[in-house]
């Protein structure tokens, strides 16, 4: 039986910033609203935690994952992790505590070992849930989409969008390490550019430029089609590794004079207000599409492939348009949708879809977390667990202290 209040433990040891980090924030807010005191273990190299408003949790940087044991209770506690627990540390935590692991992407191409041993694996969409079932893991029978958490930063925002680097360097790679030193020197010689919308239709990408989004593959089909339609511009708000950006630029060559890169922007509310449509990537490796629900909440309609998870979160013809996967029809569906938008006969008003948007609010998510914890409390006791701390746990506490 889980306590109705008291301390619970969150883990997110990723050093990059993405959807799971935002999810960690509104999960902490939900736990706090339900009477818990979240303690969040983070990677001290991850600078983004300083930007996010994390007042709902006590944040504990841990240089070594074993140091987590200095803060966990001697007896079984509740641990919710947004980064899968690897190796001996993860196995020990799962053996000694009740661990709920959140899956933010489909598991088909992932190492399943870090997810095994979790009491439950919680998916952020039905699309991801099906992969959890496929993997034979204990799947919680509800998709927890989360929150369109657009006001997540500390302090007021200026609303200004200034051009930043399109690259997010991975310093573990020799090439990126070298380029990460040279690129800032080149960038300093350029005058920062402030964003101003260009005449015509503005399509926007608001996303990390990472392989799972498959933007190069998408634009190898869409860019030649966009090139045939005057007045359609593409603004890219996000950064990625050298190879990801290189491949995307190659795919965008047919419309390179209509594309601008703005780099990662913290103030996403200002970004969404400056584009006419959000353009999502390809679907099958996507988890939930945080940018898709954020855009709708900001009143910006979405263009996305008619497949999960986007088909779960976009109301076609109301909060956006779903089009046939261009790999199936050569982009004919996208081209028809683009012409429909340019005719302007049916302007979309996502903000008017109140019932739909309510699915992605903090209040709705709080209720979902309450159901999750009630479900966990109803599960039979785990035979592998004992109320008494193991000798290993006791020794780890002594070592960590």
Q: Provide Rg for the chain, Cα atoms.
A: 22
Provide the pLDDT for residue 159.
77
Apex CA 381: angle with CA 377 and CA 384, to 5°?
Answer: 135
- Residues of the chain under the 70 pLDDT cut: 1-5, 155-157, 169-191, 383-401
Provide the pLDDT for residue 171.
57
Fold for 6-147+361-400, please state it: Rossmann fold (3.40.50)
Provide the pLDDT for residue 384.
45
Write phi, then psi, for 293 (nearest 5 degrees): -75, -30
Domains of the chain, by residue range, sit at: 6-147+361-400, 174-356
pLDDT for 242-288, tens place per residue? 999 999 999 999 999 999 999 999 888 999 999 999 999 999 999 99
Read off the pTM: 0.90
pLDDT for 111-154, tens place per residue? 999 999 999 999 999 999 999 999 999 999 999 999 998 888 77
Decide: 157 and 267 in contact? Cβ < 8 Å: yes
Provide the pLDDT for residue 154.
72
The CATH number of the domain covering residues in 174-356: 3.40.50.2000
Provide the pLDDT for residue 381.
80
CB burial of 347-383 (b: ≥16 within 10 Å; e: otherwise) equals: ebebeebeebbebbeeebbbebbeebbeebeeeeeee
Domains 6-147+361-400 and 174-356 share a fold: yes
């Amino acid at each position: 039986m889980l306590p109705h209040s008291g301390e619970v433990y969150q883990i997110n040891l990723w050093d990059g910033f993405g959807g799971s980090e935002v999810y960690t924030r509104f999960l902490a807010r939900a736990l706090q609203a339900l009477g818990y005191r979240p303690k969040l273990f983070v990677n001290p190299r991850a600078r983004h935690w300083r930007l996010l408003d994390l007042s709902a949790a006590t944040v504990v940087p841990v240089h070594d994952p074993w140091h987590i044991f200095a803060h966990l209770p001697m007896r079984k506690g509740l641990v919710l992790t947004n980064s899968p627990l690897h190796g001996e540390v993860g196995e020990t935590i799962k053996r000694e505590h009740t661990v709920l692991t959140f899956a933010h992407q489909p598991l088909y191409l992932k190492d399943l070992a870090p997810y095994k041993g979790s009491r439950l694996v919680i998916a952020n969409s039905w699309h991801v849930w099906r992969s959890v079932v496929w993997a034979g893991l204990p799947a919680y029978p509800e998709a927890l989409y989360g929150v369109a958490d657009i006001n997540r930063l500390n302090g007021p925002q200026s609303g200004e969008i200034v051009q930043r680097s399109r690259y997010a360097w991975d310093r573990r790679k020799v090439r990126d390490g070298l380029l990460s030193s040279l690129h800032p020197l080149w960038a300093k010689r350029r005058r920062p550019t402030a964003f101003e919308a260009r005449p015509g239709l503005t399509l926007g990408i608001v996303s990390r430029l990472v392989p799972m989004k498959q933007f190069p593959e998408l634009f190898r089909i869409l860019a030649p089609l966009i090139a045939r339609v005057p007045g359609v511009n593409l603004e890219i708000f996000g950064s990625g590794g050298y190879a990801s950006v290189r491949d995307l630029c190659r795919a965008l060559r047919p419309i390179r004079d209509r594309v601008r890169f703005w780099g990662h922007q913290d103030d996403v509310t200002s970004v969404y207000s400056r584009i006419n449509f959000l353009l999502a990537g390809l679907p099958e490796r996507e988890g939930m599409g945080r940018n898709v629900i954020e855009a709708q909440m900001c009143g910006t309609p979405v263009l996305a492939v008619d497949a999960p998870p986007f088909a779960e979160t976009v109301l076609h013809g109301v909060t956006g348009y779903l089009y046939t996967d261009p790999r199936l029809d050569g982009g004919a569906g996208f081209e028809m949708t683009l012409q429909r938008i340019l005719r302007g006969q049916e302007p979309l008003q996502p903000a008017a879809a109140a019932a739909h948007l309510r699915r992605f609010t903090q209040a709705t998510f709080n209720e979902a977390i309450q159901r999750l914890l009630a479900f966990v409390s109803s599960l039979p006791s785990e035979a592998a667990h004992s109320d008494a701390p193991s000798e290993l746990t006791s020794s780890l506490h002594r070592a960590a202290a």
